[in-house]
Amino acid sequence: MTEAAAPDPYLWLEDVTGEDALDWVRARNAETAAELTGSERFDTIRTRLREVLDADDRIPYPRRRGEFLYNFWQDATHPRGLWRRTTLAEYRTGAPVWTVLLDVDALVEREDENWVWKGAAVLKPDYHLALVELSRGGADATVVREFDLRGGEFVADGFVLPEAKTRVNWIDADQIYVGTDFGEDSLTTSGYPRVVKQWRRGTPLAEAEVVFEGKPDDVSVYAYHDFTPGFERDFVGRFPDFFSSEKFLRTPSGDLVRVDVPDDATADIHREWLLVSLRSDWTVDGTTFRSGSLLATRFDDFLAGGRDLVALFEPDERTSLSGYSWTRNHLLLNELSDVKTRLEVLTPGPDGWTRGELPGAPEVGSAEVIDTDPDHSDEYLLNVSGYLQPSTLLRGEVGGEVELLRQAPAFFDAEGMAVEQHFAVSDDGTRVPYFVVAGQDTSGPTLLYGYGGFEISLTPGYSGGLGRGWLEHGGTYVVANIRGGGEYGPAWHRAALRENRPRAYEDFAAVARDLVARGITTPERLGAQGGSNGGLLAGVMLTRYPELFGAVVSQVPLLDLRRYHLLLAGASWMAEWGNPDDPDDWSYLKEFSPYHNVSDAAKYPPVFFVTSTRDDRVHPGHARKMAAKMIDLGFTPRYYENIEGGHGAAADNAQRAHMSAIVYEFLLRTLG
């Protein structure tokens, strides 16, 4: 019998709410709580983290919807949160009067349901109706309910959808696009909508019209209406895998017209413009545009066959495009140069596109455009922060002055601390950047954090919890920008894709060695931490590079690469790692799957697995089975599973403070 076909003795732990599995979880939780909670240090850290999370002087980040700024707010009095709104004039006062639209805590009490806020889609252009999404316990699956913003209550006999991984978007006040669990064959193998329908108010959902269908092995499908005045249009599409898509213009007659860009490119339509973000090189009419470029053309001309494409951004070996945002008349680019932010503003005109600098980016830190008003104005909201720089919220209008709206407080004493960037050399000679946040004395413990997947970049940002839970205790904090991420664009991601995945792990190990070579730390004082895909990274560090670390924390992790594609949303990630059912793919996956490489012959550093029962994205069975297997092999892993919280492993600030404090206590106790 092959290893791939061998029975899994811990399969019973995949039964998420099975009594035997939950009894095992409760026993492990009790052991970990007895060891790591209750001390004066743990209680102090948890209390001080909760103070950060509940602080009244945090920035209430707003999103503009018409004349109002909307915000979702959680604090000690409102642990489940308030959905509220105010005006810009009020917001500028520093102590705005908020109109509460929905008190989730009151809803929890009134309905005796464990509701967690998951967002709302507000109907344009009047913004008087919303489709509110609520989760039980923080899972990705949500219940959708229509809400009247004028009366501050749910709409009687309004649009309501039962719990599922649903996609909904407004068409007009009486119609919505719905992708949900309609019954048999309506979901993909990843558990997301395969069918999208147009549902009219007052009619049964069963009678809604099918407007688009994907394939069973797609990741998901979608449909939305573009409300831009003068450019009202409808689009549908599918995601065959995590990094490819097809997009169609849905005409008034219901015909579908393909937006014919490469499958792995992203097409974005704004007013008369089509933007194309490239993940691979694209040759058009004899011109080759590089992977990572952003191209522009007029949308109607492109549909008619024109290919007059202009490159608005082209990467080089040090720069990448992190994101972009439209205002009414301008395009804002967020670029990274060696993982440091650079902002540009581009303006289309009769003689082509002009460009200039958008002020606000810090020298060492990050700046992110968090909101714009593309239908009506050139307003933008910019959040600026760094590892030692508390967040600042700026408001500007392109071409005008930049206004300071909010300054977050400093939650920890950064006196004597500094941020440095270094480069490690990986096994194949690639230079890998990483940031070190430390005081003058680095003799204390060091924590190395990484992710390295899905083209996600780790950029500098302020964390009061990190400061209070780690830096103030003499800890050094390191972030590794390893391959698999997006710090240097799609090529940086592609370099660690599928069979090349070990490059990400080699990069992380190279940073660990470089920290020791520079005298910043020693293996005994160095911890590794990661969550989700980063939890897999931490698991590989444990099983492949145990000699480099004194402790490992693996949070909401993927660890069993033989069965990940069969669990919850796992099938959607096969483009990232591979298909375990394909013998060629399994031949490389089995080499680094932590669950299949843990051995009683090895010597491992102390390890802590953290997950959530309500995580319906990454199955808690990964962490459960890995811990159980290690216990049976004679090891003593720590394990803690929060009953709530979804993929974030916490549903409110009290849980967030507790979960963070228990991890910091483990690391300080193990590495200190």
Nearest to 490 by CA among 263, 340, 321, 336: 321
Nearest to 444 by CA among 309, 286, 341, 550: 550
Nearest to 366 by CA among 447, 483, 457, 277: 457
**Coil, strand or helix at 130:** strand
Report the alpha-carbon distance of residue 667 to residue 392 in Å, rounded. Answer: 30
Do the beta carbons of residue 390 and residue 398 sit within 8 Å? no
Do the beta carbons of residue 273 and residue 298 sit within 8 Å? yes
Q: What is the DSSP string of 492-537?
A: HHHTTSGGGTHHHHHHHHHHHHHHHHTTS--GGGEEEEEETHHHHH
Maximum pairwise Cα distance, the chain: 72
Do the beta carbons of residue 84 and residue 101 sit within 8 Å? yes
- Residues comprising the chain, all counted: 672
Q: What is the DSSP string of 382-441?
A: EEEEETTEEEEEEEEETTS-EEEEEEPPP-S--TT-EEEEEEEE-TTS-EEEEEEEE-S-
Burial 378-396, CB ≥16 within 10 A → b, else e: bbbbbbbbbbbbbbbbbbb
Peptide bond preceding 125 in cis form (omega within 30 of 0): yes
Active site residues: 532, 647
Do the beta carbons of residue 103 and residue 82 sit within 8 Å? yes
Q: Would you say the C-alpha torsion 436, 438, 440, 442 has a positive or negative sign?
A: negative
Report the alpha-carbon distance of residue 25 to residue 613 in Å, rounded. Answer: 9
Q: What is the DSSP string of 321-333?
A: EEEEEE-SS-EEE
**Coil, strand or helix at 460:** coil
Q: Please count the CA atoms within 13 angstroms of the CA of 5 that sit on its side-chain side.
A: 3
Report the alpha-carbon distance of residue 113 to residue 263 in Å, rounded. Answer: 42
Q: What secondary structure letter does DSSP report for 644?
A: S
Nearest to 491 by CA among 324, 290, 253, 646: 290
Element (H, E) at 555: strand 551-555
Q: What secondary structure letter does DSSP report for 232?
A: -
Do the beta carbons of residue 143 and residue 133 sit within 8 Å? yes
